[in-house]
Amino acid sequence: MRQVVIPRYGAPDVLETRQAPDPFPGDDEIRIRVRAAGINFADILARLGLYPDAPKPPMVVGYEVAGRVDAVGRNVVSFAEGDRVLALTRFGGYADTVVVPIAQAFHFPDDLSDSEAAAVPVNYLTASIALYKMAALAPGETVLVHNAGGGVGIAATQLARLRRATVIGTASAFKHDALRSFGVDHAIDYRHANVAEEVRKLTRGRGVDVILDPIGGRSFTDSYRMLAPLGRLVIFGLSAAATGEKRNVWRALQAWLTTPRFNPLSLINRNRGVFGLNVGHLWEERRQLAATMEMLISELRAGRLTPVVARTFPLDRAADAHRFIQSRGNIGKVVLTT
Ligand SMILES: NC(=O)c1ccc[n+]([C@@H]2O[C@H](COP(=O)([O-])OP(=O)(O)OC[C@H]3O[C@@H](n4cnc5c(N)ncnc54)[C@H](OP(=O)(O)O)[C@@H]3O)[C@@H](O)[C@H]2O)c1
Residue pLDDT, tens place only, 303-329: 999 999 999 999 999 999 999 999 999
CB under 8 Å, gap of 24 or more: what pairs does 49-58 form? 49/9, 49/247, 49/249, 50/238, 50/241, 50/242, 50/247, 50/249, 50/252, 53/278, 53/280, 53/281, 54/91, 55/91, 57/6, 57/7, 57/8, 57/9, 58/5, 58/6, 58/7, 58/8
Q: In which order are the strands placed within the sheet that holds 142-145?
A: 186-188, 166-170, 142-145, 208-213, 227-235, 273-276
- Whether residue 176 has its Cβ less than 6 Å from ligand 1: no
Residues 226, 211: contact at Cβ < 8 Å?
yes
* pLDDT over 90 (residue 249): no
Do β-strands 97-101 and 29-38 pair in parallel, antiparallel, or remain unpaired? Answer: antiparallel
What percent of the chain shows pLDDT beyond 70?
A: 100
Q: Which of 89, 152, 336 to mutate to test the pocket of ligand 1 (most atoms within 8 A of CB)?
A: 152
User: What atom of ligand 1 comes closest to residue 148's alpha carbon?
Assistant: 41
Q: What is the pLDDT of residue 247?
A: 85
Q: What is the pLDDT of residue 250?
A: 86
Kindly report whether the global pTM for this prediction surpasses the value 0.95. Answer: yes
In angstroms, the CA 120 to CA 36 distance is 11
Look up residue 6 and give its DSSP letter.
B
In angstroms, the CA 209 to CA 199 distance is 11
- Whether residue 42 has its Cβ less than 6 Å from ligand 1: yes
Assign 256 to helix, strand or coil. Answer: helix
Q: Across the strands, what pairs with 168? A: 144, 186
Distance 255 CA to ligand 1 centre (A): 15
- The mean pLDDT of the chain is 97
Assign 133 to helix, strand or coil. Answer: helix
Distance 207 CA to ligand 1 centre (A): 23
* pLDDT over 90 (residue 272): yes
Smallest Cα–Cα separation from 69: which of 95, 103, 107, 37? 107
Residues 225, 196: contact at Cβ < 8 Å?
yes
Distance 174 CA to ligand 1 centre (A): 16
Residues 15, 5: contact at Cβ < 8 Å?
yes
In angstroms, the CA 255 to CA 242 distance is 9
User: What atom of ligand 1 comes closest to residue 123's alpha carbon?
Assistant: 6
Region of poorest pLDDT, from 129-138, 158-167, 184-193, 280-289: 280-289
More confident residue, 283 or 302: 302
Model confidence band, residue 277 (pLDDT cutoffs 50, 70, 90): very high
Residue 30 has phi, psi (to 5 degrees) of -125, 155
* pLDDT over 90 (residue 255): no
* pLDDT over 90 (residue 60): yes
- Whether residue 128 has its Cβ less than 6 Å from ligand 1: no
Model confidence band, residue 331 (pLDDT cutoffs 50, 70, 90): very high
Distance 90 CA to ligand 1 centre (A): 19
Region of poorest pLDDT, from 97-101, 157-161, 240-244, 258-262: 240-244
In angstroms, the CA 136 to CA 273 distance is 12
**Number of Cβ within a 10 Å radius of residue 33:** 16
- Whether residue 171 has its Cβ less than 6 Å from ligand 1: yes
Distance 233 CA to ligand 1 centre (A): 17
Model confidence band, residue 125 (pLDDT cutoffs 50, 70, 90): very high
Q: Which of 39, 147, 330 to mutate to test the pocket of ligand 1 (most atoms within 8 A of CB)?
A: 147
User: What atom of ligand 1 comes closest to residue 310's alpha carbon?
Assistant: 20
Assign 85 to helix, strand or coil. Answer: strand
- Hey, what amino acid is at 158? Q
* pLDDT over 90 (residue 130): yes
Nearest CA to ligand 1 atom 11: 214
- Whether residue 121 has its Cβ less than 6 Å from ligand 1: no
